[in-house]
Amino acid sequence: MNTQAHLELTKVSIDFPTNDGPFRALDNVTLKIDKGEFISLIGHSGCGKSTVLNIVAGLHRATEGGVILNGKEVIEPGPERAVVFQNHSLLPWLSAYENIELGVKQVFKGKKSKAEMREWINHNLDLVHMTHARDKRPDEISGGMKQRVGIARALAMQPEVLLMDEPFGALDALTRAHLQDSLMEIHAALGNTVIMITHDVDEAVLLSDRIVMMTNGPAASIGEILHIELERPRERLVLADDQQYNHYRSEVLKFLYERQKRPGEDSETTGAARSGDSDTVTKSTASENPPEMTELRVVSG
Amino acid sequence: MSTEITASRYRSWDLPLIEKLQGFLSREVASAKAARLVKSIVVSFGALGIFLFLWSVLAAQVETSLGVLPGPAKVWEQGVVLLDEHKAEREKEVAFFERQEKRNAEKLARNPDAKVKIRPYTGKATFLDQILTSLLTVITGFLIASLIAIPIGIVIGMNETLYAAFNPIIQLFKPVSPLAWLPIVTMVVSAVYVSTDPMFAKAFITSAITVTLCCLWPTIINTAVGVSSVDKDLINVSRVLRLPWITQTMKIVLPSSIPMMFTGLRLSLGIGWMVLIAAEMLAQNPGLGKFIWDEFQNGSSNSLARIMVAVLVIGFIGFLLDRGMLMLQRKFSWDKSAALR
């Protein structure tokens, strides 16, 4: 890792105001990310993965700590940190082309001519294999196609960091596999830094350079970080029988289902304690995972 | 697709008209469509028939001081009479102007320097004239209200402070019957609208403003709700893109609030039309309301039937106004597939 990281989260904590006082959703999240790295955030529902992403995007401000991109603090949203939203968030009244155009016009105003912009939009549609549906509105195309357009919209902003909030969560398995392959192609070609939230262990291992596993909330933090040292390009069929791949998979599964039980399961086992004092749950996880992040490096070979 | 092409080629010996139809619809679709159409026609006409039957039977039982309550046949008859009266009045008007022109021409022939007077025709307003007056009034009042209400709705929908400021005022005035405003509006218009050669009649202004007052609230409220309930993710997209305020409003906020806006506009127009008739009756301002009131005061044996003609026409015009708004909504809204009722 460089001394000056590309993207750096330092002791990020966030409190949300509630009627019973502030609620600490994230506590002390520290992470350094290199340029071109593919990071996955994985953890149980409600552990604050989306909050981390939103803080990097600038949609939320951290209560303590902060995010630095290329030596500059992140204080507001901006197109250099493009977001692919879980539910695609395309404007339903615009065609695929127009949806991308909205961003391109804003980002490249005065930098590209009209013809260059048109060229650039078409290029990005082509990148996600959506040229055939450029004039279709979102309600006329399938869920996977919408997500492709959403990715194209984000890529067309030429972002330094691509933030993806469970981009394939709502898709069926086959479509998801297609899009994962597309995403790997694009990442290999463009080399953007990517932070992706996922629930899918296979997806995380297949795509990532590092998997950041988060502890359960409240006051969620980084539990462990797993380095995935698999050769690229990765082929899902080849990897399915790969020992190393399966080892990584089981590491993530162990973290999620042994060390970090689902909040629901917790309340079943320690139901009485939880209903009275929710701190018990946090304490038990905190004792297993020291506040400083522990990096779990699996040596390959 | 390919099977359809071969099918149409196979039936090339068919009548050309049928073949043309098949180009548009496959046979199954066409027959299903026809069946649905026939069913809906049978049901609507059946219901209408039952309604007319019950009306004629039950109305005959009611004896009023103006005679038996008229049935459909009597109402139809009076409808025709009202049309004839309108035609007769128009013929009288034409004749009046012809006479005047002739008189003036003769006068000029005798003395080229003579001053000729052209007098306007002052016949009584017919039923059709009253319909036109009411329509013009409601549309004017509605347009004024929309021009005020839509911008207010957009602004208070986007700004929570302004919403909090406007909300008590809206909640206070929304439930007030516009008829309660009528005396105040009448007095204010007489006091403020003073001109020797008024472009609009005072009665017209009074009625239009009364309509405006009741058209404001549903449009303001629905527009504000539409604007404030824009999908948060879409707003986040705009934030990530750093879209300027005006682009965000034009490209994201307005398109997504159009359906709610039109709901408000349709409610407004419906209420406005109902209120106008009542206001015309109360204030004796020209229009359908005045027509009804005059007929009621007239108290002839035909009055009830003539009032019923007016009632049916009011209903039909209200229906047409709502359909018109729907067509506008279809034109402006991106969501053509939304169920529009």
User: Cβ of B241 and A89 within 8 Å?
Assistant: no
Residues B47 and B146 in one domain: no
Query: For residue range B132-154, what is the model confidence (pLDDT) as tens digits?
Result: 999 999 999 999 999 999 999 99
Indicate the residue of A58, A77, A92 with minimum beta-carbon distance to B334: A92
The reported pLDDT for the residue numbered B181 is 86
Residues B14 and B141 in one domain: no
Contacts of B239 in chain A (CB under 8 A): 58-59, 76-77
Residues B41 and B153 in one domain: no
Query: For residue range A145-202, what is the model confidence (pLDDT) as tens digits?
Result: 999 999 999 999 989 999 999 998 888 888 889 889 989 998 998 889 999 999 899 9
Tell me whether residue B307 is in a domain: yes
Contact of A47 with A97, CB cutoff 8 Å: no
Q: In what order do the strands lie in the sheet with A294-296?
A: A81-84, A161-165, A193-198, A38-42, A210-214, A222-227, A294-296
Closest-CA distance of chain A to residue B317, Å? 32
The reported pLDDT for the residue numbered B26 is 63
Residues B166 and B309 in one domain: yes
Chain B residue closest in CA terms to A58: B240
Tell me whether residue B100 is in a domain: no
Within chain A, which residues score under 70 in pLDDT?
A: 1-4, 262-301
Instruction: Choose the final residue of a domain: B59, B75, B94.
Output: B59
Residues B184 and B317 in one domain: yes
CA angle B330, B331, B333 (to 5 degrees): 65
- Residue B3 or B96, more confident: B96
Query: For residue range B253-285, what is the model confidence (pLDDT) as tens digits?
Result: 999 999 899 999 999 999 999 999 999 998 888
Closest-CA distance of chain B to residue A254, Å? 34
Give the CATH number, domain containing residue B310.
1.10.3720.10
The reported pLDDT for the residue numbered B63 is 87
User: Cβ of A77 and B251 within 8 Å?
Assistant: no
Residues B218 and B301 in one domain: yes
Question: What is the distance between the alpha carbons of residues A15 and A63, in angstroms, rounded to a whole number?
Answer: 6
Residues B164 and B253 in one domain: yes
Q: Which amino acid is at A203?
A: E
Residues B240 and B131 in one domain: yes
The reported pLDDT for the residue numbered A269 is 40
The reported pLDDT for the residue numbered B17 is 61
Q: Does A177 touch chain B (CB under 8 A)?
A: no
Neighbours of B263 (CB within 10 A): 19
What is the four-CA torsion angle of B315, B319, B322, B327, rounded to 10 degrees? -160
Indicate the residue of B234, B255, B335 with minimum beta-carbon distance to A89: B234
The reported pLDDT for the residue numbered B242 is 92
Kindly give, in sequence order, each residue whose CB lies less than 8 Å from that of residue B139, ignoring residues fewer than 6 positions away.
none
User: Cβ of B255 and A82 within 8 Å?
Assistant: no
Domains for chain A: give ranges and CATH numbers: 38-61+70-80+159-296 (3.40.50)
Closest-CA distance of chain A to residue B17, Å? 33
Tell me whether residue B14 is in a domain: yes
ipTM of the complex: 0.80
Does the pLDDT value for residue B161 go beyond 90?
Answer: yes
Mean pLDDT over B90-101 rounds to 89
Question: What is the distance between the alpha carbons of residues B171 and A75, in angstroms, rounded to a whole number?
Answer: 39
Instruction: Choose the final residue of a domain: B59, B84, B105.
Output: B59
Tell me whether residue B327 is in a domain: yes
User: Cβ of A79 and B252 within 8 Å?
Assistant: no
Rounded to two decimals, the pTM is: 0.75
Contacts of A92 in chain B (CB under 8 A): 256, 334-335
The reported pLDDT for the residue numbered A283 is 37
Q: Does A65 touch chain B (CB under 8 A)?
A: no
Residues B149 and B282 in one domain: yes
**Mean pLDDT over the full length of chain B:** 86
Q: In what order do the strands lie in the sheet with A7-18?
A: A21-33, A7-18, A64-69, A72-73
Tell me whether residue B240 is in a domain: yes
Closest-CA distance of chain B to residue A104, Å? 9
Mean pLDDT over B37-65 rounds to 91
Kindly give, in sequence order, each residue whose CB lies less than 8 Å from that of residue A6, ignoring residues fewer than 6 positions away.
A33, A34, A35, A37, A69, A70, A160, A193
Question: What is the distance between the alpha carbons of residues B215 and B220, in angstroms, rounded to a whole number?
Answer: 9
Residues B135 and B22 in one domain: no
The reported pLDDT for the residue numbered A54 is 93
The reported pLDDT for the residue numbered A33 is 94
The reported pLDDT for the residue numbered B199 is 77
Q: Does A150 touch chain B (CB under 8 A)?
A: no
Contacts of A93 in chain B (CB under 8 A): 255-256, 334-335
Query: For residue range B297-327, what is the model confidence (pLDDT) as tens digits?
Result: 988 888 999 999 999 999 999 999 999 998 8
Closest-CA distance of chain B to residue A174, Å? 26
Contacts of A76 in chain B (CB under 8 A): 239, 242
Mean pLDDT over B174-201 rounds to 85
As for how many domains chain B has, the answer is: 2
Contacts of A87 in chain B (CB under 8 A): 233
Tell me whether residue B181 is in a domain: yes
Q: How would residue B193 be classed by pLDDT, with cut points 50, 70 and 90?
A: confident
Contacts of A77 in chain B (CB under 8 A): 236, 239-240, 242
Closest-CA distance of chain A to residue B222, Å? 20
Residues B41 and B155 in one domain: no
In order, the DSSP letters of A259-283 are IS--HHHHHHHTHHHHHH-THHHHH
Tell me whether residue B341 is in a domain: no
Residues B146 and B282 in one domain: yes
Tell me whether residue B268 is in a domain: yes
Domain containing B189: what range?
127-332
Q: Does B338 touch chain A (CB under 8 A)?
A: no
